[in-house]
Amino acid sequence: MIAVSVRRVAVLGGHGKTGRAVCAALADRSLDAVPLGRSDWPDLAGAVAECDAAYVIAPNLHPDEPAYVGSALTALAAAGVGRVVHHSVASPYAPAMPHHVGKAISEDLVRRSGLSWTILQPGAYLQNLDLSGPLDLPYSADVRFGFLDLADLGRAAAVVLTEDGHEGATYELATRVATVRELAAEAGVPVRRVADPGTHPWLSAMFAYYDDHGLPVGTRVLEALLGRP
Ligand SMILES: NC(=O)c1ccc[n+]([C@@H]2O[C@H](COP(=O)([O-])OP(=O)(O)OC[C@H]3O[C@@H](n4cnc5c(N)ncnc54)[C@H](OP(=O)(O)O)[C@@H]3O)[C@@H](O)[C@H]2O)c1
């Protein structure tokens, strides 16, 4: 059933690759998407005031994600925007990965915000892998991931934002389960193990975790949300 009251959706972090996918899916449903970024932060309550709902995306590797999410929730409440969908990650409480823990803490803030909330926990994006040529990978190519297509993320976001029955729900999302070696073989490109480039300590921690465990996510929740296998 469509919740017709949601016509205009603020997408915090809406200019990034995640936000663009969410805005595109909302536009496909003829809804108004309002992408917001850093320049809107000083008066976030004002920027979201005309919106019926918000999709909250934290920037990649934000140094204090709970503070970012907490400010967003405060602004939504102040502006009277009662509906929020929060973009988290699969396996947020993974203490070996500091940026995942920031998302676990943020989820708790969302659940205790007093707003009507839904939390999406996406697997690693398929679009993270550039399969147009040889792939250099700083973790094992043979561990399993639940990979999520960003277009599917957008579709799922639009469903939970506009249809009834998703309040208070937390959904893990993956389009397909695979190893990187399997995806590279399908694309016909070689995959080569390389050293961690050491660009950010949280990414190094993530590569070490992936190396041992991958990031498994099942596909059935997304199938149910989108109504297709
Ligand atoms: N990559 C994956 O596989 C994956 C999987 C699951 C979850 N995630 C999560 O998805 C989220 C979004 O990733 P992304 O790559 O789409 O995001 P992103 O491009 O890093 O950031 C999105 C937007 O956030 C805004 N922004 C940056 N710094 C800000 C600040 N200090 N205050 C307010 N806004 C700020 C920017 O908007 P403006 O330029 O307009 O200012 C930017 O376009 C991350 O939290 C990531 O952990 C990613």
Residue 147 has pLDDT above 90, yes or no: yes
pLDDT of residue 80: 98
User: What confidence category does residue 136 fall into, taking pLDDT thresholds of 50, 70 and 90?
Assistant: very high
- 15 C-beta closer than 6 A to ligand 1: yes
Residue 216 confidence (pLDDT): 98
Residue range 185-216, pLDDT digits in tens: 999 999 999 999 999 999 999 999 999 999 99
Share of the chain above pLDDT 70, in %: 98
Q: Does 37 contact ligand 1 (Cβ within 6 A)?
A: yes
Band (pLDDT 50/70/90 cuts) for residue 134 is: very high
Q: Is the CB of 89 under 6 A from ligand 1?
A: yes
- The answer on pLDDT for 3 being more than 90 is no
Check if 16 has its Cβ closer than 6 Å to any atom of ligand 1.
Answer: yes
Of residues 4 and 124, more confidence is placed in 124
Mean pLDDT of 143-164: 98
1 has pLDDT over 60? no
- Average confidence (pLDDT) over 163-191: 98
- Asked whether residue 229 carries a pLDDT value surpassing 90, the answer given is no
Q: What is the pLDDT of residue 59?
A: 98
154: left (phi over 0), alpha (psi -120 to 50) or beta: alpha
Q: With respect to CATH, is domain 8-126+149-174+218-226 assigned 3.40.50.720? A: yes
Reported as a single tens digit per residue, the pLDDT across 49-95 is 999 999 999 999 999 999 999 999 999 999 999 999 999 999 999 99
Predicted pLDDT at 5:
86
Going by CA atoms, what residue is nearest to atom 19 of ligand 1? 16
What was the pLDDT predicted at 228? 84
- Dig out the tokens for 201 from the structure: 């300590």
- Is ligand 1 within 6 A of the CB of residue 202? no
**2 has pLDDT over 70:** no
User: Which of 23, 38, 199 should be mutated for ligand 1, with most atoms under 8 A from CB?
Assistant: 38
Nearest CA, atom 44, ligand 1:
60
Pocket test for ligand 1, best of 11, 12, 17, 18 (most atoms within 8 A of CB): 18
